[in-house]
């Protein structure tokens, strides 16, 4: 730990660690970690990220839905305590810190204590999931936008799924696996049963898993394939553009691997003829 810092107030960096692949970190993130005195590490961040902060004291402050978590108030006190000692505190958050990462609460607490705060953006798991599927969340043939949603409101209720379905945007649903059956049922009241849907678990990581299905089979297929948290649920016609569904987005591709082999042979024949 750097012991040359004076007694003046230090600072806190809210650092977005992205979906897990360290290659996706920004240069700004790497520089912040290299200068860190204290790293508060989130459970959803790749633990190997600490190798980029060789001089820092590492404190694990995990927060996972459905698991025992470090209280938010305690994390805020830790940031204040070390920053007020003149240290550079890097609060490492999985994904994008400003998207469902409680950054608003932490910013308010730090600013209230007169502590300078820097924000380093990163790649959210919703974008990593889309990249894995090979789709655009805002494909203009299908929608005019994307809605990022948490399935858990502050009062432990659920969002207005009917209103969200009416937006005709691609729905990127975070923290929804424990409610996947109820949210799918609610969306089916407003959307067609064959609306394309997907689940991407550990998006952007080495162990990423992807499920392509349709809204009326979403919950059943996810359960059958053993999908769980952390995962992003994507719903909307743009999901049907996934390269894993084939050029026509046919359900046949999901259920009949022979169709892919046939199409591959046709493509090879076309290449041979062109040559």
Helices (runs of H) and strands (runs of E) counted in the chain: 9, 10
CB-based contact 152:182 (threshold 8 Å): no
Q: Tens digit of pLDDT per residue, the chain (275 long)?
A: 544 444 588 999 999 999 999 999 999 999 999 999 999 999 889 999 999 999 999 999 976 555 567 899 999 999 999 999 999 999 999 999 999 989 999 999 999 999 999 999 999 999 999 999 999 999 999 999 999 999 977 677 889 999 999 999 999 999 999 999 999 999 999 999 999 999 999 999 889 999 999 999 999 999 999 999 999 999 999 999 986 543 333 343 343 333 334 344 434 554 454 54
Annotation marks residue 221 as catalytic:
no
CB-based contact 235:187 (threshold 8 Å): yes
- Residues for the chain: how many in total? 275
Per-residue model confidence (pLDDT) at position 8: 83
Nearest to 29 by CA among 52, 54, 63, 11: 52
DSSP class of residue 128 equals H
DSSP class of residue 261 equals H
Per-residue model confidence (pLDDT) at position 243: 64
Per-residue model confidence (pLDDT) at position 64: 57
Q: Which residues pair with 198 in a beta bridge?
A: 212, 234
Alpha-carbon span 241 to 136, nearest angstrom? 8
Annotation marks residue 177 as catalytic:
no
Alpha-carbon span 230 to 237, nearest angstrom? 23
Q: Which of 37, 79, 93, 175 is catalytic?
A: 175
User: Which residues neighbour 33 within 8 Å (Cβ) at sequence distance 6 or greater?
Assistant: 15, 39, 49, 52, 53, 56, 90, 92
Asked if CATH classification 3.30.950.10 holds for the domain at 125-254, the reply, yes or no, is yes
Residue 266 CB neighbours (<10 A): 10
Question: At CA 118, angle to CA 114 and CA 124, rounded to 5?
Answer: 135
- The H or E element that residue 271 is part of is helix 257-274
* Fold (topology level) of 11-120: Cobalt-precorrin-4 Transmethylase; domain 1 (3.40.1010)
DSSP class of residue 204 equals T
Annotation marks residue 260 as catalytic:
no
Which two three-digit tokens encode residue 98? 């400003």
Nearest to 98 by CA among 204, 18, 208, 10: 18
Alpha-carbon span 21 to 210, nearest angstrom? 17
Map residue 186 onto helix, strand or coil. Answer: helix
Q: Where are the domains of the chain?
A: 11-120, 125-254
* Phi, psi angles (nearest 5°) of residue 120: -115, 115
Place of tokens 């060789």: 54
């Amino acid at each position: 730990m750097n012991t040359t810092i004076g007694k003046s107030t230090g600072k806190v960096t809210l650092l977005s660690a992205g979906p897990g692949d360290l290659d996706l970190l920004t240069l700004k993130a790497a520089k912040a970690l290299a200068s860190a005195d204290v790293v508060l590490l989130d459970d959803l961040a790749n633990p190997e990220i600490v190798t980029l902060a060789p001089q820092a004291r590492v404190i694990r402050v995990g927060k996972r839905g459905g698991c025992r978590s470090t209280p938010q108030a305690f994390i805020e006190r830790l940031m204040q305590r070390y920053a007020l000692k003149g240290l550079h505190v890097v609060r490492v958050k999985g994904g994008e810190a400003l998207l469902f990462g409680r950054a608003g609460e932490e910013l308010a607490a730090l600013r209230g204590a007169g502590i300078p705060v820097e924000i380093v953006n990163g790649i959210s798991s919703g974008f990593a999931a889309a990249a894995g599927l090979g789709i655009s969340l805002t494909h203009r043939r299908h929608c005019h936008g994307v809605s990022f949603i948490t399935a858990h409101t502050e009062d432990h209720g659920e969002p207005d799924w009917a209103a969200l379905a009416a937006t005709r945007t691609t729905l990127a649903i975070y923290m929804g696996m424990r409610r996947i059956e109820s949210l799918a049922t609610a969306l089916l009241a407003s959307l067609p049963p064959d609306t394309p849907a997907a689940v991407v678990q550990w998006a952007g990581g080495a162990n990423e898993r992807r499920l392509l299905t349709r809204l009326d089979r979403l919950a059943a297929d996810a359960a059958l394939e053993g999908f769980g948290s952390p995962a992003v649920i994507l719903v909307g016609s743009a999901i049907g553009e996934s390269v894993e569904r084939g050029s026509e987005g046919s359900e046949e591709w999901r259920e009949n691997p022979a169709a892919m082999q046939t199409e591959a042979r046709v493509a090879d024949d076309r290449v041979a003829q062109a040559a």
